[in-house]
Amino acid sequence: MKKHGIRKLTSLLLALSVASSLFLCACNGTGQTTETSETTEETKPVITAPPNGRDTTPYPETKLDGNRDHHFLTTDFCYIESEKYVLFLEKNLDIPGDFTNNLDLIIAEIEKQLGLSVAPAGFEDHKLGDMKSYYGSNPWENWRIGPKIAIFVYYNRDGSSANEANIENYDLVVSMNDLLSDEYWNSTKALREDYERKSHYIRYEDLTSALTKAIVIRNAKQDVPETALRGICEYMSRSVLTALAPGNLSIDVANQRRNLYLYRIPEAVNADNAETIFENRYSINGRSPFAGSVEIYGWYFYQYLHEKFGEKFFTMYLEKLNISVVNTKSTETVKFAYGDDVFTNFGDWCVENHALQYASDDY
């Protein structure tokens, strides 16, 4: 009888303890929900508050499971927060399950190869851009996310075929046809009638180029000359994907299918003209250069610098740029970093390696 009475008392105390816990959870105002794993019975909190800790929007945080064959379809605005960025998504998007994992890998590889940080000393906070011109509204108004990169994903409401990853302020604004859901695609006449507008893979080369630009701008204390900036973005879009492609199918597909960029150049590069071309960006007699010619020049230029100066090839330049007098001639800063003979040596390297030697007469 005593044992039976003890068991009844123990059961009663346990029931009261559970009820008390449930009451406290219901009233603590944390705004968290829990998910229970079927295999481990372990509860995991899912945070629904915005990353700045202030309830400024009704739109929730979501997660991706990392599986490239799984997809997350957005039915409204939502966001995904990572260690170094916040991904802002609008409705009608189809996001592969490994998308954020790949962004994490790309950012880490950019930081590693360039020797730069997403959040350098002194870069602490910035206000998010106004997305009304892209979304038609501004769901993230007044949000502040510290030094993290904001990556806004949107679709072109006019049905255009643009695939773009551009920089606004210190953040990315991304439009890619392959991030649109099939339902939206098929409901939009301009897109439905031209299926070839989809590349059928995520253009991680474009995202890498734009992320490189954002990280460089965050670390630069003054404007980076156009040839230097466009060149390092092109260089990194190739170098990073090449480094990450082994063992990552999504990035490998992007690396294999990207355009070879066999751009035309109006003038073969040599020791006599390499500096002039860097400064003038192939502009001859006031005419604009061929599309992509500045990027291809910069790609080879940074290949040479990496080969010549090693892993610190870019920080050597950025350090000198950051202490240079504003409006200094762009080639002078390059020579300040790498030596007065850097352009003549690069021109000789181009000739020896048959790089930038295939000029087009059609200019």
Residue 74 sits in the same domain as residue 191: yes
Residue 254 lies in a domain: no
Residue 104 sits in the same domain as residue 201: yes
Residue 178 sits in the same domain as residue 268: no
Query: What would the mean pLDDT of 124-133 be, rounded to a whole number?
Result: 82
The whole-angstrom separation of Cα 180 and Cα 205 is 18
Query: What would the mean pLDDT of 220-227 be, rounded to a whole number?
Result: 91
Q: How many domains would you assign to the chain? A: 2
- pLDDT single digits (tens) 113-128: 999 999 998 888 877 8
pLDDT for the residue 274: 96
Residue 293 lies in a domain: yes
pLDDT for the residue 21: 38
The whole-angstrom separation of Cα 6 and Cα 41 is 29
When the pLDDT of each residue in the chain is averaged and rounded to a whole number, the result is: 80
The whole-angstrom separation of Cα 349 and Cα 274 is 11
Residue 79 sits in the same domain as residue 210: yes
Q: Which secondary structure element, helix H or strand E, spans residue 351, and what is its range? A: helix 342-352
* 179 within 8 A of 93, measured Cβ to Cβ: yes
Query: What would the mean pLDDT of 262-286 be, rounded to a whole number?
Result: 84
- The domain boundary, picked from 185, 200, 215, lies at 215
CA-to-CA dists, residue 33 to 44, 60, 137, 211, 239, angstroms: 9, 12, 28, 33, 41
pLDDT for the residue 197: 67
Query: What would the mean pLDDT of 123-134 be, rounded to a whole number?
Result: 83
pLDDT for the residue 55: 52
Q: What is the pTM of this model?
A: 0.81
pLDDT for the residue 360: 77
Question: Residue 209's pLDDT band (boundaries 50, 70, 90)?
Answer: very high
Q: Quick one: which of 296, 196, 201, 176 has its CA closest to 257?
A: 201
- Min mean pLDDT across 41-45, 179-183, 288-292, 301-305 is at 41-45
What is the share, in percent, of the chain residues with pLDDT greater than 90?
Answer: 49
- pLDDT single digits (tens) 301-334: 999 999 999 999 999 999 999 998 766 788 999 9
Query: What would the mean pLDDT of 181-190 be, rounded to a whole number?
Result: 80
Is the pLDDT at 40 greater than 80? The verdict is no
Is the pLDDT at 247 greater than 70? The verdict is yes
Query: What would the mean pLDDT of 70-94 be, rounded to a whole number?
Result: 93
User: Would you mind telling me the total number of residues written for the chain in this entry?
Assistant: 363
pLDDT for the residue 287: 65
Is the pLDDT at 169 greater than 70? The verdict is yes
Q: Which residue has the higher pLDDT, 350 or 264?
A: 350
Residue 174 lies in a domain: yes
Strand order in the sheet with 78-81: 78-81, 85-89, 149-154, 171-175, 164-168
Tokens representing 147 are 């030094």
Q: Which residue has the higher pLDDT, 256 or 349?
A: 349
- The domain boundary, picked from 182, 215, 248, lies at 215
Residue 300 sits in the same domain as residue 187: no
pLDDT for the residue 139: 87
Q: Which span out of 37-41, 54-58, 146-150 was modeled with the highest average pLDDT? A: 146-150
pLDDT for the residue 260: 61
Question: Residue 168's pLDDT band (boundaries 50, 70, 90)?
Answer: confident
- Min mean pLDDT across 137-141, 295-299, 304-308, 347-351 is at 137-141
Residue 62 sits in the same domain as residue 131: yes
- Per the structure, the complete domain to which residue 284 belongs is given by 260-363
- The domain boundary, picked from 184, 215, 246, lies at 215
Residue 329 sits in the same domain as residue 182: no
Residue 183 sits in the same domain as residue 304: no
- pLDDT single digits (tens) 191-204: 777 656 677 789 99
